[in-house]
Structure 1
Amino acid sequence: MPDPTSDTGPEPAVRPRRRVLRTVGLIAVAAVLGLVGGTAVGYRIQADREPTLLPALNQPGLAYPAKPLPKGEEPEPLSAAEDHQLKAEGDLRKLLLPRPAGARAEGPDGWQSLSQYVDGYTLPDAALEFQLDQGIRRIATREWRVGEYKTVEINLVQYRAGSSNGAWEHVMDQQRIAGGEARSGSLGESVKGSSNGRYFVYPVRREAGYMDSYMARAFIAHGDIAITILMYDTRKISGSEIRSLAERQLGRL
């Protein structure tokens, strides 16, 4: 039996594999050298060519005058009714829809704290973190009851200016949740006068020992304000009812 420590023993079985790996390595090096060489030739050809002039940029006329308008020709400033930002900077409570005739106050009416607002969510802690991240500023709320069981809640949630649009983020998040819930089963319907507003009418919810439960929601982003409308009843809620409410509230902004 040969001595395992002797240099005259049989060749190791891995020696041919080393030879193959070495061949592959040589091919890889050749490929890299070919790539570098080709790139160098390309740069040389490009350097020897005459520069090609690019077409002139199409610069449209500027929308504002090159110099201030003469005195007396300046445009009139926006009126308070036309300046939407002025409305948003005022008292948000005055922009809430008034309670309809015969309805009575139910729940908060006026300013609402952030803790009260997020308490109505399934996951209040997550809702609180989300609102703080979006730069929530203030909340105006009005809630009323019609008859014995129908309740309506409207919230105007305003956000600070920042890197993100908090109102839009909040509305898109609520629309995604509303559309994904099994009871909704739809992407909602658009609100007239808004490019992003949608309303949702849910099928009846029945549970033994309880009255039938109906629900409708609307979510609209208008500038830095998110409009959220919640409607509950023991009778069927029509799409026209929640849509009209959403359109009228949007009109007040």
Structure 2
Amino acid sequence: MTPNEPAPPSAPPESPGPPPGPANPPSDPASPDARRRPRAGTTALIACAAVLGVLTGTCAAYTVQSERPPTPLPPLSQAKLPYPEPLAEGKGPAPLSAARDRLVRTDGDLRKLLLRKPKGAEEARFARARNGWIDPYGYARGFETPDLMLRDLLQQELRRVASTEWEQNGSRFVAITLVQFRDEQVAASPDFLAGQQLYMPRAEHAGNAGKPLPGLGDGRFYVFDKPFSEAGYLPMYTARAVARRGDVVMDLWIHDAEPISESAVSSLARKQMERL
């Protein structure tokens, strides 16, 4: 283009368009395209799939285990356990005879187990027993507190009391009492046998701890230290022995105007216990 040539006409101006706006204008919220799909549904499906996978694996494991043979237990450390083997018929011990079975004897007439009075002895003139038996209160009356003693005897399930009493040599009085309870453990409990032995060492009673009766377990005998004295009467010497065999307690007393030897009371007690 030469300088004398006229300039070409410029391009016509474009018509103004709409004002500029965002590159991605928001769509109508009411339109279906504008709604977003919730994400909770996807999470639930994944959780259900995981649970079904665990259940399927567990069922498969049980099925496989049930079809396998059981695993044997390890052998015991002892080849043979020391269980008692039943004896063959006729090889067991023979049953005790009535003469040797203590329970058979004590369940019978208790009076038959009392010692017989020695030759020359006479029935006591003031015996407590009636036909060989003493009622519970009659026995409890021989103690310092009869009412308390009777209550204790009844609470301990006293069964019966048999007794024999005799006089000999003009001055000796002997009383042997068999006290039977319904339970063997009660006869050995501190409420009776040990309770009787507990107070004997006191000065107002024997005054000493006594001595054991050989071969009679917890049995003991006592020779009182001092005689009982009262104006106008001869002194009264006393000895006592208490022992137990099963559910029967022996209570033996000796009174005499002459001193009583230890051998006299211990020998008499052993003879009575042998009958039980």
Provide TM-score, normalisation by structure 2: 0.65
CA contact (8 A) 1:218 1:230 kept: yes
Structure 2 residue identity aligned to 1:166 = A
Deviation for aligned residue 1:168: 4.3
Is 1:234 paired with 2:257? yes
State the distance in 2 between where 1:207 and 1:105 align: 25
State the distance in 2 between where 1:194 and 1:166 align: 14
Deviation for aligned residue 1:112: 1.2
Deviation for aligned residue 1:99: 0.3
> Match for residue 195 of structure 1?
217
> Match for residue 166 of structure 1?
187
Q: What are the equivalent positions in structure 2 for 1:140-219 lying under 5 Å apart?
A: 140-161=162-183, 164-169=185-190, 170-202=192-224, 203-219=226-242
> Match for residue 43 of structure 2?
none
SS of aligned partner of 2:258: coil
State the distance in 2 between where 1:102 and 1:61 align: 60
SS of aligned partner of 1:110: coil
State the distance in 2 between where 1:75 and 1:183 align: 48
User: In the TM superposition, what whole-angstrom CA distance separates every residue of 1:188-229 from its partner, at most 9, and x where no partner exists?
Assistant: 011122110000001223333321110000000111000000
Is 1:74 paired with 2:92? yes
SS of aligned partner of 1:221: strand
Deviation for aligned residue 1:133: 1.5
Deviation for aligned residue 1:181: 3.5
Deviation for aligned residue 1:183: 4.7
CA contact (8 A) 2:199 2:205 kept: no
CA contact (8 A) 1:218 1:246 kept: yes
User: In the TM superposition, what whole-angstrom CA distance separates every residue of 1:126-178 from its partner, at most 9, and x where no partner exists?
Assistant: 1001101111001110000113221100001000127x423544221111121
SS of aligned partner of 1:250: helix
State the distance in 2 between where 1:230 and 1:132 align: 23
State the distance in 2 between where 1:189 and 1:140 align: 25
CA contact (8 A) 1:168 1:221 kept: no
Structure 1 segments of 4+ aligned residues over 6 angstroms from their partners: none
CA contact (8 A) 1:168 1:226 kept: no
How large is the RMSD of aligned CA atoms in angstroms?
1.9
CA contact (8 A) 2:187 2:246 kept: no
* Distance 1:91-1:167 versus aligned 2 partners, 3 A rule: farther
State the distance in 2 between where 1:206 and 1:144 align: 22
State the distance in 1 between where 2:170 and 2:189 align: 34
Tell me, which stretches of 5 or more residues in structure 1 are unaligned? Answer: 1-55
Aligned residues: 191
State the distance in 2 between where 1:61 and 1:127 align: 50
Is 1:104 paired with 2:122? yes
Aligned equivalent of 1:87, options 105, 108, 125:
105
User: In the TM superposition, what whole-angstrom CA distance separates every residue of 1:79-110 from its partner, at most 9, and x where no partner exists?
Assistant: 22221111111111010000000111111251
CA contact (8 A) 1:157 1:167 kept: no
Q: What are the equivalent positions in structure 2 for 1:119-138 lying under 5 Å apart?
A: 119-138=141-160
Tell me, which stretches of 5 or more residues in structure 2 are unaligned? Answer: 1-76
CA contact (8 A) 2:227 2:236 kept: yes
Larger Rg: 2
Identity of aligned residues (%): 37
SS of aligned partner of 1:126: helix
* Distance 1:61-1:190 versus aligned 2 partners, 3 A rule: farther
State the distance in 1 between where 2:136 and 2:92 align: 43
**Which structure dedicates a bigger proportion of its chain to helix?**
1
Is 1:252 paired with 2:275? yes
* Distance 1:181-1:224 versus aligned 2 partners, 3 A rule: farther
CA contact (8 A) 1:167 1:225 kept: no
State the distance in 2 between where 1:225 and 1:168 align: 12
